[in-house]
Chain A
Amino acid sequence: MSLPHSLFPLGWQHYLLGGTFIGGGAGLLFLMTGRVGGMSTVFTSTWSYVVRRPFFQQPRFTASSRWRLVYAAGLVLGAAIWWLGFTDGTPLGTRVPAWQLLVGGFLVGYGARRSNGCTSGHGVCGMGSLQWPSALAVLTFMATAFLTANLAARWLA
């Protein structure tokens, strides 16, 4: 088996192409509006519509809640274009159990907000603007994600 095939059993081109689009989306947002857009803030900024506590009413959330929702709607539309235009249209699903999605999701949401960024905020935007704290955050979550995913494969499968 060749090296590219053993590293990338499903091929590598679509990964690079997808990454270019992701960076291109962040780049287009910056070009047009000057904004730096990670994805996890939308969860806090959307809660600012209904939760009156001072933390949620900070200008950085209230002033960005609308465009972040528009950006999120774009994410759904862009993925839908791929689904309807480039696949046979069968809805995707996952074999990861619901409880794992819910509990894992909870930690993802809590952790991303506490560290002020996720795979897109620290990963794409933070590293994309060459900020070392973001690179450290990425190394940290890659390490704990690697450990968790491998332990889960052993214990939960």
Chain B
Amino acid sequence: MSKPMNKTLALPRALSTLAAGMLFGFGLAVSGMVQPEVVLSFLRLSDFGLALVLGGAVLVAILAYKGLPRLLARPVLDDHFHAHPSFWNRDTAIGAALFGVGWGLCGVCPGPAIAGLGTGNLDLLWALAGIALGALVHGLRAK
């Protein structure tokens, strides 16, 4: 649970979060991931670009997640680095398999569904609505 160090840091934290999201969204747009056709051409093995996008992103993320806690005692605007452990169980497996079926059908995943709106692509509202409904149904069925 994050306990803000100081209420006065709320605005700097919000601005850094916005800036981080902007880098992320710019990357999704530059790399064509906001275009379902580009994602689907990877899944149909006619353009391997997505592997470079994911590979490049993972390399930079490894540097950040593994490197920063060694260099700094805490993040700039909070008192500790968070960890987000992932688990492997039945839900992970079934969820990931269903996610893939949906992704292969539409070529849109959550990040691009949001970022794509910034490119004037209103068709993506269909995918965004689908994702929001899927998340709602998941939460209503979950314990």
Contacts and interface: CB of A to CB of B under 8 A. Distances in A.
The answer to whether A and B come from one shared complex is: yes
Interface of A: 7-10, 12, 14-40, 42-44, 46-47, 51, 53, 55-56, 59, 63, 67, 70-83, 86-87, 90-96, 98, 100-120, 122-134, 136-138, 140-150, 152-153
Contacts of B81: 30, 34
Contacts of B59: 19, 23
Contacts of B98: 107, 110-111, 114-115, 144
Nearest 7 pairs between A and B by C-beta? Answer: A74-B21, A105-B130, A18-B31, A109-B134, A128-B61, A19-B56, A104-B106
A67 B110 contact: no
A37 B95 CA distance: 19
A23 B56 contact: yes
Interface range on chain B (Cβ under 8 Å from partner):
35 or more
Contact of A17 (B31, B64, B105, B126): B31
Contacts, number: 542
A108 B130 contact: yes
B31 A15 contact: yes
B123 A93 contact: yes
B104 A91 contact: no
B31 A44 contact: no
A113 B20 contact: no
A28 B20 contact: yes
Contacts of B23: 21-22, 24-25, 28, 74, 78
B31 A80 contact: no
